[in-house]
Amino acid sequence: MSEPTPTPSPLAPTIGFEGFAALDIRVGTIIKAEAFPQARKPAFKLLIDFGPAIGTRRSSAQITEHYTIEDLVGRQVAAVVNFKPRQIGPFISEVLTLGFPDAAGKVVLIGPTQPVPNGGRLF
């Protein structure tokens, strides 16, 4: 029996281009992934390389349903790099790694379908 499809979230309020431009969404390559047993919900700790201008940043991501540590290393992902760092248990998450919910509400990462230089900005 399949799980019910989650109800889509309502459309966010309309913003101007300036609102979109304020988000700095970049591509990076996961160079390290490890278990995060202290997280309240199952998660991994990621170290992501965003290229020489930004460097490496850390992220906590609840992506254990679809990915293993081995799947993640070397994968390019999109992340918001200009949020304030967030304390998650004993870990500081510096970027928000982006994904979409699958039919069961579990995160599926987004990233380029072909290799691109780390640090490229979404437009």
What integer pLDDT is reported at residue 5 of this predicted model?
62
Instruction: Considering the domain delimited by 23-109, tell me its CATH architecture.
Output: Beta Barrel (2.40)
Q: What secondary structure does DSSP assign to 29-75, as a single string?
A: EEEEEEE-TTSSS--EEEEEE--TTT-EEEEEE--TTT--HHHHTT-
Q: How confident is the model at residue 3 (pLDDT cuts 50, 70, 90)?
A: low
> Does the pLDDT of residue 36 top 60, yes or no?
yes
**CA of residue 8 relative to chain centroid, distance:** 19
Q: How confident is the model at residue 21 (pLDDT cuts 50, 70, 90)?
A: confident
What integer pLDDT is reported at residue 122 of this predicted model?
95
**pTM of the predicted model as reported, rounded to 2 decimal places:** 0.89
What integer pLDDT is reported at residue 23 of this predicted model?
93
User: What are the boundaries of each domain within the chain?
Assistant: 23-109
The residues near 60 (Cβ < 8 Å, ≥ 6 apart) are 36, 39, 43, 44, 45, 46, 88, 91, 93
